Structure 1
Amino acid sequence: MQLDNRAQTLLKALVERYIADGQPVGSRALSKISGLDLSPATIRNIMADLEELGYVASPHTSAGRVPTPRGYRLFVDTLLTVQHLDERAVDPQLRLPAQAAQPHKLIANAAQMLSSLTQFAGVVLSPRHESAFQQIEFLRLSEKRILLVIVAPGGDVQNRLLLTDVDYTPAQLQQSANFLNQNYSGLAFDEVRGRLQHELRQLRDDMGRLMQTAVEASSEALAESADEMVIAGERNLLSVSDLSSNMSSLRQMFDMFEQKTGLMQLLDVSSKASGVQIFIGGESQLLPMDEMSVVTAPYEANGRIVGTLGVIGPTRMAYERVIPIVDITSRLLSNALSQP
């Protein structure tokens, strides 16, 4: 049902007042803050209609009303006026080019900045790495124990321990690394696997096995690193009464942070959409609490979406301020991760 202008104005005023002070909003207060020249009886009738439609609810302890998840959804989709945010308020470290800062440091800075600016929890799903390498090195640790070092195209470094059947000499390890780097650097691992099977027939079998093992381990290492999630400021949520009002809510909230599965699914879903997305707890099975919302945005590297970032907070948050913080952070992180 389409709400008329009076109902929309009253709902907007109610949500804004409730976000500001957390108290149920009565008809008398609405008559003062809405700017509408309506009698108290008319306001009560409109609020009764909004309650029947599921946009507001009446707590048992008060004659006033509070917004429901459906009311918040209508508010953020059609009634919200987003604040202007000066980009200079955002951490200047995110303006550094990728060559001047490791990607994982930029990711950590972004999560911390989101938390600091909103006083909620900031979260960043690490970039999806291309299944390719820039350089591979072998380091002999002891007999049949080799440290594999993989450098990704973006500069990230991953290490893997290889346990081999053969005791390779340092010269053999250097020869294998040189062969891989000279012939396959920058290629996807799927392509490297196929070419290795064909091109290594002229080499000794044990050298071929080492290279095949290195390619498999490297591919797994980069795939695992792509699923990492950085969270900053979880403790900020302890001071939010809506989320920490009882032990059950606290347990649900920190179970979410510990398990991360639902949160990662939510961030993955939001990476497939453009711009800022808002998930309100009561609407999504991926969030454990009606009182929790997540504001997300995807970020890019060289024009390709590689991850998602966002803010986790109460449903009763100042969306008009949080939305531009998330939006600007995603754009600055995209710039920092992209090649000049």
Structure 2
Amino acid sequence: MLNDRAQRLLKTLIERYIADGQPVGSRTLSMLSGLELSSASIRHVMAELEEMGLIISPHTSAGRVPTARGYRMFVDNLLTISPLQDSLVSQLETGLRPDSPQRMVQAASSLLSELTHFAGVVLTPQRPDAAFRQIEFLRLSEKRILLILVTLDGDVQNHLLTPERDYSSTELTRAANFLNTHYAGLGLATVAERMTAELAQLHSDISSLMAAAIELGRRSQLDPAESVVISGEAKLLQITDLSDDLTRLRELFATFEHKTELLRLLNQSRSGQGVRIFIGEESGVTTLGECSVVTAPYLIDGLVVGTLGVVGPTRMAYEKIIPIVDITARLVSSALSHHE
């Protein structure tokens, strides 16, 4: 734990560094922190913070910059969130009104990139591939159905279906009962292989619904990277913190291109509540070592179906980025839950 003086100095240092990207010296801290401390006293505190691994002194400067651990301390304990400007909220509300879930995902990714000037990433409503113990269809509105899967290990997965016609509660129950009776214990990808012939023999009132559900399983066998929508990667080229190392930048863009590691990270974010922040190596993705990823899950009728967020440098204005991601997730959730 840091005392109040050390907290104030660390907060001031990180805020200053985020603002201008230059190592922060003791004289600057003396002027900005509001503490009546001598330069010698400030240097002593800085030495303690450096020993704790919260800041580091670059070889070319007498000033200090925060480490990933320092950013974590800042985000968890010292950050003051800025309310999102009404104009930005209005821009999000206006932009997040597409007429389909697919276009909603693309719009959310683009808006996140536009508002943050970083890369916007969205995990589309997840595709089922795990073996299920029980399946249920829940009617949300006309031609909008939530497919609920309970896996063998008790995990609950939710997937949005948009069939060509509307279905009654009775029809949804019949379809779920058929799958639970004949295919419990299998994954939908496996069911897709076995069920093609049987679909033709089913009564037409539920066969098309079953086909829509099985198509999810069939798509789950495709490249999982198709589940991640990314916008604005090129904006990262304009960020000196990332672009001054071309090798690292190429590796970062390879991560965006292949998407598999991003998919894993975004899937991990689904299990949390609210905004999650991965700083540097916390993401578990080597190529994101100089980046932070800010994510939030989005829901349909209270059930998590995907994740969205931004990828940018660790030197980002967290107090602004966090509410943008948070409100975007809330607006996407609302729009998908009330879409008619």
Q: What TM-score do you get using the length of structure 1 for normalisation? A: 0.76
1:184–1:192 contact (8 Å) kept in structure 2: no
3-state SS of paired residue (1:220): helix
Q: Give the Cα separation in 2 of the matches to 1:188 and 1:113.
A: 41
SS of 2:218 mapped into structure 1? helix
Give the superposed CA RMSD.
Answer: 3.2
Q: Could you say if the C-alpha distance between residues 335 and 287 of structure 1 is closer, same or farther in structure 2, counting changes exceeding 3 Å?
A: farther
Q: Name the counterpart of 2:49.
A: 50
Q: Who is 1:119 aligned against?
A: 117
8 Å CA contact 1:121–1:232 kept in 2: the answer is yes
How far 1:190 moved relative to its partner?
Answer: 3.6
Q: Secondary structure at the match of 1:288?
A: helix
Q: Which amino acid letter does the alignment assign opposite residue 11 of structure 1? A: L
User: What amino acid is aligned across from residue 103 of structure 1 in structure 2?
Assistant: P
Sequence identity percentage: 48
Unpaired runs of at least 5, structure 1: 135-149, 159-180, 196-205
Deviation at 1:248, TM superposition (A): 1.1
- In the alignment, residue 180 of structure 2 is paired with which amino acid? E
Cα distance, 1:258–1:189 mapped onto 2, change above 3 Å = farther
Q: Which residue of 2 aligns with 1:240?
A: 239
CA–CA separation in structure 1 for the residues paired with 2:14 and 2:221: 42
Call closer, same or farther: CA 1:81–1:156 in 2, change over 3 Å: same
**SS at the partner of 1:294?**
strand
Match of 2:2 in 1: 3
Q: Does 1:41 align with 2:30?
A: no
Unpaired stretches in structure 2, ≥5 consecutive residues? 129-134, 147-159, 165-169, 185-195
Give how far 1:26 is off: 0.5
Q: Which residue does 1:223 correspond to in 2?
A: 220
Query: Match of 2:215, as an amino acid?
Result: S
- Asked whether the equivalents of residues 111 and 124 of structure 1 are also in contact (C-alpha less than 8 Å), the reply is yes
Distance 1:292 1:183 in 2: 45
TM-superposed deviation, 1:192: 7.1
CA contact (8 A) 1:133 1:188 kept: no
Q: Which SS does the other structure have where 1:231 is aligned?
A: strand
> For residues 317 and 93 of structure 1, what CA distance do their matches in structure 2 show?
26
Q: Deviations over 1:69-125 (max 9, x none)?
A: 0000000000000000145523234554xxx71000111110011001001010100
Shift of 1:260: 1.2
Structure 1 pair 38/115, CA: closer, same or farther in 2 (3 Å)? same
Q: Does the Cα contact within 8 Å between 2:227 and 2:263 map onto a contact in 1?
A: no
Larger CA deviation: 251-260 vs 317-326:
251-260
Q: Is the 8 A contact 1:94 1:332 kept in 2?
A: no
**Other-structure match for 1:339:** 338
CA shift in 2, pair 1:189/1:284, >3 Å: farther
- For the residue of structure 1 that corresponds to 2:287, the secondary structure is coil
Deviation, 1:265, is 1.1
Structure-2 separation of matches of 1:65 and 1:116: 31
Q: Which residue of 2 aligns with 1:139?
A: none
Partner of 1:19: 18
Alignment length, in residue pairs? 291
2:267 equivalent in structure 1: 268
Moved over 3 A (4+): 93-96, 129-134, 150-158, 181-186, 192-195, 206-217, 221-227
